[in-house]
C-alpha cells in the first residue's frame, strides 16, 4: 500500500500566484463598489432631504440661483411653486425624448414670473407624442395666454444632451423642433433674462395636465446598482477560491491512501 501524491512543480506555484492575484483584485473591486454605495447613500439622503424642504417661490429661486454656481446646483431637486405667465411664442419641442418607452417631445416653455422679483424660468412642462406620419406637425398643448398660472415642480438642470450629427445642431434659430437646447444660447437667442436652472413641472396629467404626460423618472442615486456589482465581485472571488481549493489542494493532496493495483 502506498500513499500517492502528485509532485509539486512550477505549474502549481504559477496557478497559486494567479489565483491569489485574482482573489485580491476581485475582493478589492467588491470593496470599492461598497464604498461607492456608501457615497451614493449619502447623496440619496441629501436628495431626500432637499425633497422634504419647504417649496420655494419664484423670488427665492431667482435670488439663490443668481449666486455662485455651487449655490445654484444646491437647488437641484428642491420643490418650487411658481406663479407667472407663459411665453408660448418661445416654446421649444425637444425631439427624440422618451417617456414610458415611447418616443416623442419634451415641451419647454419660458414662464414670466410675477411678484417683487420678476424674471423668467424655463419650465420642462412634460412629454407629448409625435406624429410620425407628419414629422413637422406639433402636438396640441394647452397653454393659457395672458393669464397667471400656478406651476408646481422641482428644480432641475438643463435637459440632457443627445448625440447630434455634425451640422445638425439646432440649438439656435427659428425652429420650434430641436434636438438639444443650450440655456446660454437660448437666452441670447430670445433676449429673455432666463435663470440658468430649469423647473421640471409636476402635478396633474391628462386633460388637467394641458395634454402632457409628466411621468418623470424617480430621483435616485442608484445605490442598489453598486450593491449588485459588489455582490458579483465578491461572488467571483469566492468562486476562484473554491475552484483553487478543489483542483489544486483536494484533488492533488487529499487522495485515497490505497491505490488499486495496476
Is residue 58, in this structure, part of any structural domain at all?
A: no
**Residues 103 and 175 both lie in one domain:** yes
**Residues 227 and 187 both lie in one domain:** no
Return all residues near 53 (Cβ < 8 A) that are at least 6 apart: 78, 79
**Residues 113 and 159 both lie in one domain:** yes
| Cβ atoms of 227 and 35 closer than 8 Å | no
Is residue 14, in this structure, part of any structural domain at all?
A: yes
* Per-residue pLDDT, 86: 93
**Residues 35 and 85 both lie in one domain:** no
How deeply is 75 buried, as exposed, middle or buried, from its count of CB atoms within 10 A (0-12, 13-18, 19+)? buried
* Secondary structure of residue 130 in the 3-state scheme: coil
| Cβ atoms of 241 and 25 closer than 8 Å | no
* Per-residue pLDDT, 137: 84
Is residue 214, in this structure, part of any structural domain at all?
A: no
Identify the domain containing residue 227 by its residue range: 10-44+223-253
Angle separating helix axes 10-52 and 223-244, nearest 10 degrees: 160
Per-residue pLDDT of the chain (262 residues; tens, 9 = 90+): 455 555 667 888 999 999 999 999 999 999 999 999 999 888 888 878 887 888 898 888 888 777 555 556 778 888 999 999 999 999 999 999 988 888 899 999 999 998 756 789 999 999 999 887 887 888 888 888 888 999 999 998 888 888 765 544 444 445 789 999 988 899 899 999 888 889 999 876 544 456 788 988 777 667 889 999 999 999 999 999 999 999 888 887 665 554 554 4
Cell output for 227: 450593491
- Residue 172: φ, ψ to 5°: -125, 160
| Cβ atoms of 216 and 125 closer than 8 Å | no
* Per-residue pLDDT, 76: 84
Is residue 2, in this structure, part of any structural domain at all?
A: no
Cell output for 145: 395666454
**Residues 194 and 227 both lie in one domain:** no
**Residues 171 and 249 both lie in one domain:** no
**Residues 159 and 103 both lie in one domain:** yes
* Per-residue pLDDT, 233: 96
**Residues 83 and 176 both lie in one domain:** yes
**Residues 248 and 177 both lie in one domain:** no
* CA atoms in the 13 A half-sphere facing the CB of 225: 6
**Residues 175 and 84 both lie in one domain:** yes
Whose cell is 491569489? That residue is 20
Is residue 105, in this structure, part of any structural domain at all?
A: yes
- Domains held by the chain: number: 2
**Residues 190 and 110 both lie in one domain:** yes
Is residue 187, in this structure, part of any structural domain at all?
A: yes
* Secondary structure of residue 151 in the 3-state scheme: strand
Is residue 100, in this structure, part of any structural domain at all?
A: yes
* CA atoms in the 13 A half-sphere facing the CB of 174: 0
Is residue 17, in this structure, part of any structural domain at all?
A: yes
Amino acid at each position: 500500500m502506498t500513499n500517492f501524491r502528485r509532485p509539486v512543480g512550477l505549474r502549481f506555484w504559477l496557478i497559486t500566484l494567479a489565483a491569489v492575484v485574482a482573489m485580491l483584485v476581485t475582493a478589492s473591486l467588491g470593496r470599492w463598489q461598497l464604498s461607492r454605495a456608501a457615497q451614493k447613500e449619502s447623496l440619496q439622503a441629501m436628495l431626500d432631504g432637499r425633497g422634504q424642504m419647504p417649496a420655494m417661490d419664484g423670488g427665492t429661486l431667482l435670488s439663490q440661483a443668481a449666486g455662485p454656481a455651487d449655490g445654484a446646483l444646491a437647488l437641484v431637486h428642491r420643490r418650487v411653486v411658481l406663479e407667472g405667465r407663459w411665453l408660448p411664442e418661445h416654446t421649444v419641442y425637444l425631439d427624440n425624448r422618451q417617456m414610458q418607452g415611447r418616443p416623442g417631445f419634451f415641451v419647454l416653455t419660458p414662464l414670466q414670473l410675477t411678484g417683487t422679483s420678476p424674471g423668467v424660468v424655463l419650465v420642462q412642462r412634460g412629454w407629448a407624442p409625435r406624429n410620425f406620419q407628419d414629422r413637422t406637425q406639433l402636438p396640441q398643448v394647452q397653454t393659457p395666454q395672458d393669464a397667471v398660472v400656478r406651476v408646481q415642480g422641482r428644480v432641475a438642470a438643463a435637459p440632457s444632451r443627445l448625440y447630434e450629427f455634425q451640422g445638425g445642431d439646432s440649438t439656435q434659430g427659428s425652429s420650434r423642433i430641436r434636438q438639444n437646447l443650450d440655456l446660454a444660447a437660448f437666452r441670447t437667442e430670445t433676449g429673455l433674462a432666463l435663470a440658468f436652472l430649469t423647473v421640471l413641472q409636476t402635478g396633474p396629467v391628462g386633460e388637467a395636465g394641458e395634454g402632457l404626460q409628466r411621468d418623470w423618472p424617480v430621483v435616485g442615486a442608484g445605490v442598489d446598482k453598486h450593491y449588485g456589482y459588489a455582490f458579483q465581485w465578491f461572488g467571483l472571488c469566492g468562486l476562484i477560491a473554491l475552484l483553487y481549493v478543489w483542483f489544486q489542494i483536494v484533488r492533488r493532496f487529499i487522495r485515497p491512501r490505497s491505490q488499486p493495483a495496476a
